[in-house]
């Protein structure tokens, strides 16, 4: 099996165990057994359990996906662009749910973890603010503060993700696409021409 497959298997196994038990409760030995590798293999790839978690967070960064969207898929049509951004954001957050849950669980014993995790939303907010600024220059929207608008838009998406993560469908019952479409339309009505 290639090295990258081994590293990926270790990362996925570690995330699964850390989500279930918490960072401190999971041992390298346990990760090795479930990933079907030796403890030495884990140490060769990652050196420490903390480095393993940091690598998992970096490996699951959402920024590359959004850089591709902003570079190649934006059509400068507000509703269509925001819908694409919103759906992509939620899909990536769902895929990264274990990292989110681990970060929440371990925030008191590993405050630096929150710094690492917060890099993604900060960079995404900057990219979205630049999009809003460009849309303003194209006279397609009318907003006073692009960064504040980006934070506002991402906050409603994050709220949806957190609601589904902790409350499942007890609070928001609509399918994701329907919820996003409604929110994007409402948002665009507020800032569009």
pLDDT in tens, 13-59: 998 898 888 888 899 999 999 999 999 999 999 988 888 888 888 88
Name the CATH code of domain 62-191 (choices 3.30.450, 1.10.357, 3.40.190, 1.20.120).
Answer: 1.10.357
| pTM beyond 0.75 | yes
Give the count of beta carbons closer than 10 Å to the beta carbon of residue 184.
23
> Higher confidence at residue 180 or residue 4?
180
- Residue 76 pLDDT exceeds 60: yes
Backbone angles phi, psi at 58, to 5 degrees: -65, -40
Domain 3-58: CATH superfamily, name plus number:
Homeodomain-like (1.10.10.60)
């Amino acid at each position: 099996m290639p090295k990258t497959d081994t590293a990926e298997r270790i990362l996925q196994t570690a995330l699964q165990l850390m989500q279930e038990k918490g960072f401190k409760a999971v041992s390298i030995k346990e990760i090795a057994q479930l990933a079907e590798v030796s403890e030495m293999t884990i140490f060769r790839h990652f050196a420490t359990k903390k480095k393993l978690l940091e690598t998992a967070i970096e490996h699951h960064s959402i920024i590359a996906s959004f850089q591709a969207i902003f570079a190649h898929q934006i059509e400068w049509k507000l509703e269509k662009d925001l819908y694409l951004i919103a759906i992509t954001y939620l899909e990536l957050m769902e895929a990264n749910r274990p990292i989110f849950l681990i970060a929440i669980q371990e925030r008191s014993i590993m405050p630096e973890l929150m710094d690492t995790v917060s890099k993604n939303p900060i960079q995404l907010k900057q990219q979205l603010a630049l999009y809003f600024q460009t849309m303003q220059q194209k006279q397609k929207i009318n907003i006073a503060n692009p960064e504040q608008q980006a934070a506002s838009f991402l906050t409603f998406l994050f709220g949806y993700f957190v609601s589904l993560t902790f409350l499942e469908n007890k609070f928001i019952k609509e399918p994701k696409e329907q919820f996003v479409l409604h929110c994007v339309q409402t948002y665009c009505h507020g800032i569009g021409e």
